[in-house]
Structure 1
């Protein structure tokens, strides 16, 4: 088919994507081929494509298309995450908009509504990934709530529990009062908030005084409301001020609660009064101090409900006026009451006249934790939750990275990985939601827990447990105990009394209640590399595609997801989940700032696709990704890469119009002319560089290698050099080279390359997406390379010289080269037409140049003289260049002085310093260019 005159990305993208997907070309049948497997970080089912997804998935697609072209059985596992918190929030918002709410439904009915939402609206991001060109195996699309995946999640939970690596414990968690669930440390974002630092007196009990005569201890806090649950005051064991009162009781003024002064190194003698009030049920540091002081977690006081409203503590000492108040209202009332009773120590400042001014609190900028989804202040809250022994599971991944079984790229991330994994805390895996994998645990009336894969297995465990309890009963001696169900909810047993044989109720019935919580979303996604392959039911795919070959992920989910996959994969599969882990940076706004909706600098990748095409967006992402460095948005580059695709399109049209079509062989055709030998050699060198860059995961180097080959060697030089000489050899070579370009460029720009591949040859049964990676079967011809490189140097240097001296590009000039070397003479004599047409020279005479002004142009070992008499006004040109040189030199020197001034560099705005550096480099380069031009004039 003839190519359209204009390259229009929109016209070809939808056509080719549907063709690839409908024909199963993302996973061609290759049972004998070497497998190659990657998995995508499963995006939230609620999500839509953002610029980070565009980077992450582009890099993955580059790799998977590259390996598919290399003949591998390339599997890119695709799917979405059920995103517990995010999805439940979306559905609840929709219900609220309709005047409805979750609590109007049973748990099962609400979950049904979530599934309905997923069926209607949950496929947005997968459609958008198609627009990006992602060649994922959609026939095996996964979802973390699919039945087979749920089975894997439940099995892992039960196995970890039975192995003693998963347990229930009472600990402090990050509690989101808006979502009413625990969240992980990684889901907490710290913000700077303007707050206060209040100082209070806590009186010592029973008339006790310190050595200095004071009968109180001063404490300070940014959260006065928590004093309603204080259980101790801590001082440093070596702090001389408090030695006499360690172990003595202190009185909390508002509650009247008595507690002890404890010695603990957490208290810093150099900070404030050196004394710290301890609220172990509502502060992570205080929790540890409380445990060291002998306070059991079960004894720690809780003063908040799930919505962070004040509740009565177990000792009943919270004044009733506080009960039911929101935490921040309680804060204000606590301060007011402590002030009224004379226990507030004011913060004193001086006004402009020097008069003392008292304030309730010292103003402070406080690092405050917020939930990244709920958007409210996180409250440390003491609850019973399920935990994984992450420290034990982290041992195998640490060894895998140390031994090289897992290679982290770039290597600089290893230190961060080691630091986090070596200091890892227990992983809280329970969440107080309705949407998600429900925890497979059932509780008896005595608090006994039964963890099992399903209700039947839990019933069996309960049967065995309570049978033993019954048989051990010292009052009723029973035998033949049978466990049975009463209705749908109650579990109990009956037994036969040994003496009479009478059937009696040996015990009252036992009700098993299932745990209400669901699992943390990251618990299930940690199984992604093997559960998506059918584990534990299907072993064939697991054996073939586990471990995965590569994981590409943003560094921001290294601990959310990557580390947890390594833990679960090594524990359950006894092998690493992937052999290499590539961590890329963030995509930032053009000014380097992090993108955020609040800043209004978020870039929509779909808008970029609409404007420039998916190929341009993909090429930008690959070309700008430099081993973990952040990518800065630059719309001019998008335009440039769209122009690159257009350049290739026009080159293909030129070839097509001159009878150049598809090649008929993978190997390079026979070539006799220097220019054809040269371009074949350039393909060989480009292929080697490209393969090396891909092996090293240098996406930027790979993209720039193929870019410069296409734009510079092929379009700018080869096509120009062969114009007017389309013999059969040249047609064959040009067609073969163009095919190699399409194959090598395909991973980066799949749409335009597939369109050109189809247009240049009749090969419907051999689409580009599954073509063979180049195998030139040729070597670089050194003589041909030297010859063409000499011509390129001559033409390029002459064009530069003309530009510097203001000579029209089309002006035809005379040239002289006395006593050329034999090799140079041969090149000139073999290429008169190219020299005349491209260098715009009336040939090159092997004589001395006539006397007079001239410029000299170098090429290889030759120094060609080009007379300028009558071509330009030498004197005027020298004057122009001299004046311009003076201006650029002066500007460069001025900017150099400014940049060498530490005061400017340190105090000026970063953008001003950056502009000064750029201007200095520009003026310096211009001065060098002008000096070279003057030198040419002699």
Structure 2
């Protein structure tokens, strides 16, 4: 049989069959590993939690030490092959790819957050019996990696050009082997359950073949082409970058107004980039602007150059903005380039790849910023500056890699014609083949794919997938597929550019499975079940995977669901950044509090599509939760909790037993619903409050008197407590895998919770037991509050008389007395305070422990507040005009306030009456 489920009645379980486990893998049963030196024997007569009361909880240490446990546990999981995926399996597949981190990267909180969510999903599905694949790998990160190695060369006084292309590429591969990929080890620290044997790299042989294959197909289908267009150029990285790799920020610059032409035929234009005027080939005005109608078709002189340029009419110009006239520099501005195409204007490039002025004249050889100042000064000297605004704050694009200001530049590049691909990507979401979660993120997706411009895919780098195109001596162009021989002979040369990194990572969901070959893995695990990623790379990566997946896989999208999450921020909601001084290395927190604490903190903040604030005190609280689980399980083991045998019949269970099993099934159902809706924060919160509040703070406490009394009732509660802990630990495992592994294997004696069966809801509920225990909780909570108000210490014992007649609390008197530290009345008992609650009366003898005058003053103040609340609510409910206009939920809220106030008045009045007179 399978391990016990969360059901009303289940029999014992054999450790020989596990959910998600494929026969043939190495396994070692009934071992919990060396980390904690646990001893778990298989003789049930000697096992903790079976039969007689046990005094030693399977050598479970008094404290949990994550640093000692986590590494060995993870190594054992990997050695036993728990995370591997079998393409030949008959189980239903569940596939998730890791958003491939850069080979240059290290684990940051954003990675830890995303990986925690993915790991929780895959661990649960593995426990549910799916053939689960979490596909790992890394991205070659073209610009970032080349920059790293070039910096290393610079320390030696060399550049990549000193080595040459082939030697430089070999140097990058060497760096990758020696220094790249440290994030893999950090992922293991976090507990990532990835299939390490399937780890891929975007430039390994198989993925390179996939890249060359899809390039060739797109080229043959005329969806890839080469053309001269305006691109975003980084003068530092010396390469084109895509629109989505440009970061915009407000910079302080200057806005100068320049007079072109003379007298009545002059036009004033404003610019923040005066240096580009050297490349102007026209001035444009709106065709309906009467101010300039007489100038359209004429020529005016371009200052400082001696050239004459035409005045053209173009509807792109906004006549209401500025002077209503704009300078047109087709080779250095994307909008101007389009105006130039419409009016057949020449394209004059006036800067080189380093953003140095190349135009002949006094400004040649100056950097663009130096030239800007020099040109403005020269124009001022000629009386051409009509206005200056300094400083002028405006949005400026920067390279996301090196933060250098981007230079729009006319360049011959390779492009993807995205029109039909983007339409297919949009249609797949609109027709329901792919769901975006949360749904409100759909508009952002459509806003991108519906307005996507052709994608510049060539990069002027040496590290990356080289474009598989050869040029012949007579102008020939040949695109070569992976199984074709490139042309040879004198004069043939391969294109020197490489492909944008996002081109290869866009193939990730199927290239990692062996495409273009129809491998067993591709047939089994494509499409992915879900993509879990940040909304910030919806455009970078998600849209590209959608376009390529639909194109390469015959209209089958790469995943069924796109689950988007937010970004991790500090506890004040501020973006984490080294420059802000609030960046956190998650490894530091793992060292201090354990990986489970970091994971649980991140999961508790994970609401779909919403940014996640996190602070160290929250991680500390999660560590405390792990300790609470540890201590409660130790208590259970010391008191003989067991998972052996079926659950006792319902009639043998106490109300507390029935209550906790009813709540347990409800929690299983709730957690499942939250997982299916990617509500990680809600499922984590549900488990936290159930485990801490209901299991540990209530059920465990309620069973203490039962265990002390012994007998048949204790045997029943030992089995119920074992069941509750078994199921609770399995529910918690996907989020906090390490501590639950140690505790579950100790409790059950079975191999691993990783391959245990996921709990299921049997539907068992006991409303009566829930009401009964709810009443116990109400009595205990109210008396505890009263004790605290009186300044009594939690452990201070107080004589009390309990009148439980007419309630269903009689059987709970021993537990209530123990929970409240209430002694029997004894001789000389004097009731100095009486608390009516839930139909019962608790009379306390607080002689010498209570300040009657202070208590009367406090209660009188509370009574006045309750009466005021009642009066306000009554007045509103008696106002017909208010009731006619107020929404139903507002009226219901006021009715609830009235009911609460009336109950408070009754309770406080009774408390005042019970106080000693005088």
- Is TM (by shorter chain) over 0.5? yes
Equivalent residue, structure 1, for 2:395:
367
Conservation of the 8 A alpha-carbon contact between 2:647 and 2:720: no
Match for residue 609 of structure 2 among 605, 615, 628: 628
CA distance in 2, matches of 1:836, 1:614: 39
In the alignment, structure 1 residue 784 sits paired with structure 2 residue 831: no
Match for residue 741 of structure 1 among 728, 740, 748: 728
Conservation of the 8 A alpha-carbon contact between 1:666 and 1:774: no
Match for residue 781 of structure 2 among 787, 793, 796: 796
Residues 253-332 of structure 1: pairs in structure 2 closer than 5 A: 253-295=303-345, 299-312=346-359, 318-319=360-361, 321-332=362-373
Equivalent residue, structure 2, for 1:93:
151
CA distance in 1, matches of 2:155, 2:864: 70
CA distance in 2, matches of 1:667, 1:225: 86
C-alpha distance 803-107 of structure 1, shift in aligned 2 (>3 A)? same
CA distance in 1, matches of 2:633, 2:467: 59
C-alpha distance 395-522 of structure 1, shift in aligned 2 (>3 A)? same
CA distance in 1, matches of 2:624, 2:630: 10
Equivalent residue, structure 1, for 2:747:
760
C-alpha distance 796-257 of structure 1, shift in aligned 2 (>3 A)? same
Conservation of the 8 A alpha-carbon contact between 2:258 and 2:386: yes
CA distance in 2, matches of 1:604, 1:294: 55
Conservation of the 8 A alpha-carbon contact between 1:668 and 1:776: no
Q: 1:343 deviation in Å?
A: 2.1
C-alpha distance 736-382 of structure 1, shift in aligned 2 (>3 A)? same
CA distance in 2, matches of 1:91, 1:516: 19
CA distance in 2, matches of 1:596, 1:617: 19
Equivalent residue, structure 1, for 2:104:
46
C-alpha distance 61-95 of structure 1, shift in aligned 2 (>3 A)? same
Conservation of the 8 A alpha-carbon contact between 1:687 and 1:774: yes
Q: 1:816 deviation in Å?
A: 5.3
In the alignment, structure 1 residue 410 sits paired with structure 2 residue 410: no
Which SS does the other structure have where 1:126 is aligned?
helix
Instruction: Name structure 1 gaps, 5 residues minimum.
Output: 205-212, 313-317, 348-360, 460-484, 491-510, 891-924
Equivalent residue, structure 1, for 2:588:
607
Equivalent residue, structure 2, for 1:936:
911
In the alignment, structure 1 residue 541 sits paired with structure 2 residue 521: yes
Conservation of the 8 A alpha-carbon contact between 2:298 and 2:311: yes
CA distance in 1, matches of 2:613, 2:341: 48
Conservation of the 8 A alpha-carbon contact between 1:13 and 1:751: yes
In the alignment, structure 1 residue 864 sits paired with structure 2 residue 864: no
Match for residue 66 of structure 1 among 124, 142, 145: 124
CA distance in 1, matches of 2:846, 2:405: 80
Equivalent residue, structure 2, for 1:583:
564
In the alignment, structure 1 residue 390 sits paired with structure 2 residue 418: yes
Equivalent residue, structure 2, for 1:7:
64
C-alpha distance 853-226 of structure 1, shift in aligned 2 (>3 A)? same
CA distance in 2, matches of 1:67, 1:671: 35
Q: 1:363 deviation in Å?
A: 3.3
Which SS does the other structure have where 1:75 is aligned?
strand
- Which is further off, 811-820 or 362-371? 811-820
Equivalent residue, structure 2, for 1:893:
none
C-alpha distance 300-675 of structure 1, shift in aligned 2 (>3 A)? same
CA distance in 1, matches of 2:67, 2:223: 53
Q: 1:719 deviation in Å?
A: 1.0
Match for residue 874 of structure 1 among 846, 852, 855: 852
C-alpha distance 690-254 of structure 1, shift in aligned 2 (>3 A)? same
CA distance in 1, matches of 2:101, 2:649: 43
CA distance in 1, matches of 2:649, 2:426: 48
Equivalent residue, structure 2, for 1:248:
298
C-alpha distance 255-448 of structure 1, shift in aligned 2 (>3 A)? farther
Conservation of the 8 A alpha-carbon contact between 2:265 and 2:300: no
Q: 1:716 deviation in Å?
A: 0.8
CA distance in 1, matches of 2:906, 2:811: 34
Which SS does the other structure have where 2:340 is aligned?
helix
Match for residue 798 of structure 2 among 801, 808, 812: 812
Which SS does the other structure have where 2:531 is aligned?
strand
Q: Deviations over 1:407-445 (max 9, x none)?
A: 111111111111111111111111000000000011123
Conservation of the 8 A alpha-carbon contact between 2:799 and 2:825: no
Q: 1:185 deviation in Å?
A: 1.2
Q: Deviations over 1:72-104 (max 9, x none)?
A: 101000000000000000011111112222111
Equivalent residue, structure 2, for 1:431:
459
Q: 1:868 deviation in Å?
A: 6.0
Greater Rg over alpha carbons, structure: 1
Equivalent pairs counted in the alignment come to 812
CA distance in 2, matches of 1:137, 1:669: 43
Q: TM-score, normalised by structure 1?
A: 0.83
Q: 1:671 deviation in Å?
A: 5.0
Equivalent residue, structure 2, for 1:529:
509
Q: Deviations over 1:825-854 (max 9, x none)?
A: xx3332332232224446799xxxx99864
Equivalent residue, structure 2, for 1:26:
83
Conservation of the 8 A alpha-carbon contact between 1:667 and 1:778: no
CA distance in 1, matches of 2:787, 2:211: 71
Conservation of the 8 A alpha-carbon contact between 1:251 and 1:257: yes
Q: 1:932 deviation in Å?
A: 7.6
Q: Deviations over 1:47-86 (max 9, x none)?
A: 0001111111100001000101111101000000000000
Q: Deviations over 1:151-170 (max 9, x none)?
A: 00111111011111111111
Conservation of the 8 A alpha-carbon contact between 2:772 and 2:809: no
Q: TM-score, normalised by structure 2?
A: 0.84
Q: Deviations over 1:719-745 (max 9, x none)?
A: 111114343222222122211111111
Conservation of the 8 A alpha-carbon contact between 2:470 and 2:478: yes
Conservation of the 8 A alpha-carbon contact between 2:103 and 2:181: yes
C-alpha distance 789-881 of structure 1, shift in aligned 2 (>3 A)? closer
Which SS does the other structure have where 1:190 is aligned?
strand
C-alpha RMSD over aligned residues? 2.8
Equivalent residue, structure 2, for 1:220:
270
Residues 597-746 of structure 1: pairs in structure 2 closer than 5 A: 597-663=578-644, 672-726=653-707, 727-746=714-733
Q: Deviations over 1:187-216 (max 9, x none)?
A: 111122211111222116xxxxxxxx6132
Residues 68-147 of structure 1: pairs in structure 2 closer than 5 A: 68-147=126-205
In the alignment, structure 1 residue 770 sits paired with structure 2 residue 755: yes
C-alpha distance 362-715 of structure 1, shift in aligned 2 (>3 A)? closer
Which SS does the other structure have where 1:872 is aligned?
coil
Conservation of the 8 A alpha-carbon contact between 1:832 and 1:843: no
Conservation of the 8 A alpha-carbon contact between 1:878 and 1:934: no
CA distance in 2, matches of 1:670, 1:436: 70
Higher relative contact order (CA 8 A, sep 6+): 2
Conservation of the 8 A alpha-carbon contact between 2:798 and 2:844: no
Q: 1:645 deviation in Å?
A: 0.5
Instruction: Name structure 2 gaps, 5 residues minimum.
Output: 1-38, 40-58, 708-713, 869-899, 914-918
Q: 1:3 deviation in Å?
A: 0.6
Residues 461-540 of structure 1: pairs in structure 2 closer than 5 A: 486=489, 490=490, 511-540=491-520
CA distance in 2, matches of 1:19, 1:203: 80
